[in-house]
Amino acid sequence: MNARSIRFKLTAWYATLLAIILIAFGSAVYFGLERYLTTRLAEQLSLQAFQIADTWLRQINRSGTEYIVNEIEEHISPDATGRFVRLTRSDGTFLYRSKPPRDGRFDPSTVAAVKPIPYAPRTREEHLAKGELLIYSLPYTVPGVGSFLVEVGAPYHTVENTLHGLVLIFAIILPIALALAIGVGFLLMTRALAPVDVITRTAETITSRNLSGRLPISHTGDEIERLSATLNRMMERLEGSFRQVVQFTADVSHELRTPLAVLRCELEVALGQNHLSPAAREVLESVLEETGMLSKIVEQLMTLSRLDSGELQLERSRLDLAGLCKDTIEQMNLLAEDKSIHLQCDAPEPVEIYADPLRIRQILTNLIDNAIKYTAAGGSVHIRIAQEDDQAILEVADTGPGIPTEALPYIFNRFYRVDKARAREFGGSGLGLAIAKSICDLHGGRIAVESRLGQGTRFRVAIPVGAN
C-alpha cells in the first residue's frame, strides 16, 4: 500500500481517531465502573455498620457484650464472608475484633486503630501487606454506657477482580473491533475513491494523438463529478490549442516548401555559371547547404505535424527487418567511409514484422545517421537485429563520446540537443529522435537509450512482430 495515497492517509486518520475514541470510551467505562463498585461496596459496609450499631450495640445494657459478639458471629460471620468487623470503646480497648478470614487475605490485627473516635461516619482505604481494605467507620454513642466506633471493612479485591475482567475483555474485544472498523473503513474509502482510479487510468490513455478522449463522469453531484467535468473542460481547451499549434506547424511547413525548392533551384542554376569568382561560388555553396538543411527541417516538421494530428496512416505489410537494415547500411556506407568508420550489421536470421517499411527505414536512417555523425573518425557503429519472444529488436551502438546522464531523460524531446555549441557543426535539428520515437509509438513499440560519457551510446528499438 502506498503510504502517500489519500486512501492510506484517510484510513490512518480514521484508525487514529477511532482508537482515541475507543480508548477514551474504555477509560470512561473503567473509571466509572470502579467508582460505582466502590460506592456500592461502601454502601454495603455502611448498612452492616448501622445494623451492628442500631440492632445489637444499642442494647448492650440489657444483652451484654457476649450477646453482641455472638450475634455478629452468627449473622455476619466475618471469617466466612471475609469481612473485617471491629468495635472499639472510647478508651481504645476492643469490644470485638473479627478473626482472620478463612482465605487469609488480610490480618485484622494489622489494621491500625483509630484514635480518637471521629465525630462523623467516614470511609477510608487501609493498605495492608496482602492488599487494600475498604473500611467504613461509624461513631455511635450508647446512653449511659459511652461512645463506640463501629468499623466494618471488606477486601478491595472484589472490585479489582471485576475491573481486571473488564480490562481483559477490552484487551480482546477492542483490538478486534478496531481491526474490523479499519477494514470496513478501508473498503468504504476504496469504494468512494474508485472513481478517482478510473479517472487516473483514463487520463493516462489520453495522449497528444488522443486528445479527444474524455474522462467518465459519474452523476453523483459530489466533488468527483465536478473534478471530472472540470478536467474535461480543460482537455477541450488543450485540444483546441494543440490543434491550432499543429495546424500552424503544418501550414508554415507547407508554405515554406515551395519557396525553398525555388530558392534551391535558383542557387543550383547560379552555381552552374562559369563566370563566378571563387569567393562568390563559396558563398553560394554555403547558402545552398543551409537551404538544404532548412528543407530537411521543414520536411521533419511536416512529418511531426502529420504524426501529431493523426493524419499519418501506416501502410503496413510483412517485411524482413534484417534485410531492410542491410539495404539501409549499404546506402549509408559511403557516409561511414568518409569518416573511416566501420559499419557492422549483425543480422544472421530474417526477422519478419508487420509494419510500414518507409517509416521503419526512417527510424533506421535516423539512428544510423546519428551514430555516424557523432562517432569520431576511426570508430565503429554496430547494428544488431534479433527477435526476442514476440518483439523484433533493433540495436544501434556506437563508440562516440556518449551522452551525459542528466541529458538522457530529454533526448527524445523535440529540438533538444545535448551539445548546443556543436549543433551547427553536425547539422542536427533535434527532431530526428523525436520522429523515431513517434513512429515507434505508432507501431506499438518503444525506444530506449543507454549511454555513458566516453563509452558510446546504444539505442534499442522494440517493435511487436505481429499485427498491432
Q: Above 70 in pLDDT, residue 440?
A: yes
Residues 12 and 157 in one domain: yes
Which of residues 161 and 288 earns the better pLDDT score? 161
Determine the Cα–Cα distance for residues 460 and 218; give it in Å rounded to an integer: 42
Residue 21 domain-assigned (yes or no): yes
- Residue pLDDT, tens place only, 244-291: 666 666 556 556 666 767 777 777 777 777 777 787 777 777 777 777
- pLDDT of amino acid 210: 65
- Confirm if 85 and 151 have CB atoms less than 8 A apart: yes
Residues 88 and 36 in one domain: yes
Residues 27 and 158 in one domain: yes
Residue 200 domain-assigned (yes or no): no
Q: CATH number for the domain including 234?
A: 1.10.287.130
- Count of other CB atoms within 10 angstroms of residue 388: 10
114 burial (CB, 10 Å; 0-12 / 13-18 / 19+) is middle
Residues 253 and 324 in one domain: no
- pLDDT of amino acid 86: 92
Residue 172 domain-assigned (yes or no): no
- pLDDT of amino acid 140: 92
Q: CATH number for the domain including 452?
A: 3.30.565.10
User: pLDDT confidence of 303, banded at 50, 70, 90?
Assistant: low
Residues 330 and 304 in one domain: no
Average confidence (pLDDT) over 79-98: 90
Least confident span in 18-27, 139-148, 265-274: 265-274
Could you give the dihedral angle defined by the CA atoms of residues 99, 103, 104 and 109, in that order, rounded to the nearest 10 degrees? -20
CB within 8 A of 255, min separation 6: which ones?
A: none
- Residue pLDDT, tens place only, 207-250: 666 666 777 777 777 777 777 788 778 877 776 776 666 666 65
User: pLDDT confidence of 458, banded at 50, 70, 90?
Assistant: very high
User: pLDDT confidence of 119, banded at 50, 70, 90?
Assistant: confident
Secondary structure element (H or E) that encloses residue 157, with its range: helix 157-205
Average confidence (pLDDT) over 368-381: 88
The amino acid at 267: L
User: pLDDT confidence of 468, banded at 50, 70, 90?
Assistant: very low
- Domain residues for 70? 6-162
Residue 213 domain-assigned (yes or no): no
Q: Above 70 in pLDDT, residue 153?
A: yes
Average pLDDT, the chain: 82
Q: List, in sequence order, the alpha helices (H) in 375-457.
A: 423-426, 432-442
Residues 351 and 301 in one domain: no
**Residue 367, CB half-sphere, CA atoms under 13 Å: how many?**
31
- pLDDT of amino acid 459: 92
Residues 231 and 377 in one domain: no
Residue 88 domain-assigned (yes or no): yes
Determine the Cα–Cα distance for residues 269 and 272; give it in Å rounded to an integer: 5
Which grid cell is 440? 515507434
Residues 237 and 366 in one domain: no
Residues 454 and 374 in one domain: yes
- pLDDT of amino acid 417: 72
Extract long-range pairs of 412-415: CB within 8 Å, 24+ residues apart. Answer: 412/436, 412/437, 412/447, 412/449, 414/304
Q: Above 60 in pLDDT, residue 406?
A: yes
Handedness of CA 179, 180, 184, 185 (dihedral sign): negative
- Count of other CB atoms within 10 angstroms of residue 25: 12
- Residue pLDDT, tens place only, 419-433: 654 444 555 567 788
User: Rounded to two decimals, what is the model's pTM?
Assistant: 0.49
